[in-house]
C-alpha cells in the first residue's frame, strides 16, 4: 500500500514538474535566441568593420603613392629645368662638353641639384645617362655604376614618367602593410629644353627620385590597429553588457514563471500589466548607466575631435538625451515616487520651471503670460513631484506649438482648492483623442512615449487633487490642475 501510494503521488506530480521544465525552457528560449542572434550580429559587424578598415587603409596607401608620385614628377620636372638651365648650358658654353669626372663640373651639378631640392622630402636622387650609367647620385658609391633598368626606367628613356614601390622587410610584415622600409622610386626623362615648347625632343638621360614612405605606411598601419582595437573593445563591451542583461532577464523571467505556476495561472490582466511595467522599469533603470556613459563619452569626444565628426557626435548626444527622457517617463510611470509633503508655494514652483525652460523658450520663440497673484495660499505637497508634473505640462504645451507661441498661466484660489490653468495656442485636441488623452502610451505626436500626461495625473491624484483638459474657446488646449489647500497637519483650510 505504501509503495503504491507513493507511486501514485509521483505520477500525479510528474506532469506538474514536466510543465514547469517546459515553461522554463520556453521562457529562457527567446533570450537565448536574442543572445545568439546579437552575438552573431556583433561578430559580423566586427568582421565587416575589419574588412572595411583594411579596404580604407589600402585605398589610403594607394592615394599616398599616387600623391607622392605626382609630387616626385613635379620635383623631377623642376630639377630638369634647373639642371639644364643652370648646369648644362653654362657648362657647355664654358667647357664645350660635359665631363662629370671633372670635380668642378660635378661640384657645380651637385650644388644645383641640392639647392633645387632643398626643403623637399627627397631621400635619394640618381641621374643616368643614355647608357644606363649613373653619372650623379646622392650616394657617391653609386657614381659610375651601370644599372640594368626596369620597365619604368625604359619608359622614362622613351619620354614617359613612371614609379614603382620598393619595400623591404619580412614577407609577413609586407603582406600586413607594415614593411620595415618603403621607398617610392620615380623615373622621369632628362631632356633638352627648347624655349617656348614643352614637347620632349631629345632625351639626355633619366632622373631617379626616391621618397621614403616608411613613416607614412607606419602611420596608416597604426591607424588600422587603432580602428581594429577600438572596434574589438566596443564589440566586447556590448557583448558583456548583452550577457549581463540577458542573464538578469533570464533570472527575472524564470522568477516570474515560478510565481505564475504557484498561483496556478490565476493572475488577472491588471497584474500581468503591472509585472510588465515592473520589468520595463527594471530594464530602463539598468539601461540608464551605460546610456549616461555613452552620452558623456560623446561629449568628451566632441570637445577633442574636430571637423565633420562633431556632427555625428551631436547626433549621438541628442539621441542619448531623448532616450534618457523616454526611460525617465517609463520609470516615473512604472515606479511612482511616494510624495514627501511639505509646505510649498505654487508661485515658486512656476518660477523654478520657467527659469529651467528659459533658454528653450527664448530660442524657439515661446512667450509666457502669467496671472499668478502674490497672495496665493501655500499648499502641502511634494515640491519635486509637483515640479516634474508642471514641467511635463509646459513641455506638452510647447510641443503643441512647434512654431512657437504664447503659453498662458493663471492661478487662483477656489474654496479649499488652488487652481492652476495652462493654456496654449496650438490646434487643440480632437474629440476622439480627448477620450484617450490620459491613457498610458497614447500620444498624438510622432515621437514620444505617451506617458507624460499619465505621470502628471498620477502625481496630482497622489496629492489628493485632480487634473483635466479641454479645448479653449479661441484655439489651443487648456490643462487645469486643482490642488487641495492644506496645512502641515494635512487638514484643509478655507481660502
Q: What domains can be seen in the chain, in order of their start residue?
A: 52-220 (3.30.450.20), 342-484 (3.30.565.10)
CA distance 288 to 307: 29
Mean pLDDT, consecutive 10-residue segments, the chain of 495 residues? 43 46 59 72 80 81 84 86 86 84 86 86 86 86 81 84 84 77 87 68 84 84 83 82 77 75 58 59 64 71 64 69 66 66 89 90 90 88 89 88 89 89 86 72 61 79 87 84 74 42
> 244 with 252: CB under 8 angstroms?
no
Per-residue pLDDT of 257-304, as tens digits, reads 777 777 665 555 445 555 655 666 666 656 666 766 776 776 777 666
> 476 with 427: CB under 8 angstroms?
yes
pLDDT at 278: 63
CA distance 62 to 75: 20
- Dihedral angle computed from the Cα positions of residues 193, 196, 201 and 202, in that order, rounded to the nearest 10 degrees: -10
As given in the structure block, the three cell numbers for residue 87 are 648646369
**Distance (Å) of CA 465 to CA 127, 196, 335, 462:** 96, 95, 20, 7
Handedness of CA 370, 375, 377, 379 (dihedral sign): positive
Residue 87 backbone dihedrals phi, psi, to 5 degrees: -120, -55
Place of cell 639642371: 83
Q: What is the helix (H) or strand (E) element at residue 292, kind and residue range?
A: helix 269-304
CA distance 213 to 159: 26
pLDDT at 17: 45
pLDDT at 418: 92
Amino acid at each position: 500500500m505504501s509503495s503504491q501510494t507513493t507511486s501514485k503521488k509521483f505520477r500525479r506530480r510528474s506532469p506538474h514538474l514536466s510543465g514547469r521544465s517546459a515553461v522554463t525552457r520556453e521562457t529562457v528560449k527567446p533570450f537565448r535566441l536574442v543572445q545568439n542572434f546579437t552575438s552573431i550580429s556583433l561578430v559580423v559587424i566586427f568582421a565587416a568593420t575589419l574588412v572595411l578598415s583594411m579596404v580604407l587603409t589600402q585605398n589610403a596607401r594607394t592615394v599616398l603613392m599616387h600623391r607622392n608620385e605626382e609630387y616626385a614628377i613635379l620635383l623631377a620636372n623642376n630639377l630638369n629645368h634647373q639642371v639644364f638651365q643652370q648646369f648644362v648650358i653654362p657648362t657647355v658654353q664654358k667647357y664645350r662638353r660635359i665631363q662629370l669626372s671633372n670635380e668642378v663640373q660635378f661640384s657645380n651639378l651637385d650644388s644645383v641639384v641640392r639647392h633645387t631640392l632643398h626643403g623637399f622630402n627627397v631621400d635619394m636622387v640618381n641621374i643616368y645617362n643614355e647608357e644606363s650609367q649613373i653619372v650623379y647620385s646622392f650616394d657617391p658609391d653609386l657614381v659610375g655604376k651601370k644599372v640594368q633598368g626596369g620597365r619604368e626606367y625604359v619608359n622614362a628613356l622613351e619620354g614617359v614618367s613612371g614609379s614603382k614601390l620598393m619595400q623591404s622587410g619580412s614577407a609577413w610584415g609586407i603582406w600586413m602593410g607594415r614593411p620595415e622600409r618603403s621607398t617610392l622610386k620615380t623615373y622621369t626623362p632628362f631632356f633638352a629644353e627648347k624655349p617656348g615648347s614643352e614637347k620632349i625632343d631629345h632625351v639626355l638621360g633619366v632622373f631617379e627620385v626616391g621618397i621614403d614612405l616608411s613613416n607614412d605606411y607606419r602611420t596608416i598601419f597604426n591607424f588600422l590597429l587603432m580602428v581594429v582595437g577600438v572596434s574589438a573593445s566596443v564589440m566586447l563591451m556590448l557583448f558583456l553588457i548583452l550577457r549581463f542583461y540577458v542573464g538578469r532577464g533570464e533570472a527575472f523571467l524564470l522568477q516570474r514563471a515560478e510565481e505564475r505556476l504557484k498561483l496556478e495561472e490565476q493572475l488577472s490582466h491588471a497584474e500581468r500589466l503591472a509585472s510588465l511595467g515592473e520589468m520595463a522599469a527594471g530594464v530602463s533603470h539598468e539601461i540608464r548607466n551605460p546610456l549616461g556613459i555613452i552620452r558623456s563619452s560623446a561629449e568628451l569626444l566632441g570637445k577633442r575631435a574636430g571637423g565633420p565628426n562633431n556632427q555625428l557626435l551631436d547626433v549621438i548626444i541628442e539621441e542619448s538625451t531623448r532616450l534618457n527622457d523616454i526611460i525617465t517617463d517609463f520609470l516615473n510611470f512604472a515606479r511612482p515616487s511616494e510624495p514627501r509633503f511639505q509646505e510649498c508655494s505654487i508661485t515658486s514652483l512656476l518660477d523654478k520651471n520657467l527659469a529651467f525652460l528659459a533658454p528653450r523658450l527664448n530660442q524657439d520663440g515661446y512667450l509666457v503670460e502669467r496671472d499668478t497673484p502674490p497672495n496665493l495660499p501655500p499648499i502641502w505637497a511634494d515640491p519635486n513631484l509637483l515640479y516634474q508634473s508642471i514641467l511635463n505640462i509646459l513641455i506638452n504645451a510647447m510641443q503643441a506649438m512647434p512654431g512657437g507661441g504664447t503659453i498662458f498661466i493663471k492661478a487662483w484660489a477656489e474654496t479649499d482648492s488652488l487652481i492652476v490653468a495652462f493654456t496654449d495656442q496650438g490646434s487643440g485636441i480632437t474629440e476622439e483623442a480627448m477620450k484617450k488623452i490620459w491613457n498610458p502610451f497614447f500620444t498624438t505626436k510622432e515621437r514620444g512615449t505617451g506617458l507624460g500626461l499619465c505621470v502628471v495625473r498620477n502625481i496630482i491624484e497622489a496629492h489628493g487633487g485632480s487634473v483635466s483638459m479641454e479645448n479653449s474657446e479661441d484655439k489651443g488646449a487648456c490643462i487645469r490642475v486643482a490642488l487641495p489647500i492644506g496645512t502641515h497637519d494635512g487638514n484643509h483650510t478655507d481660502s
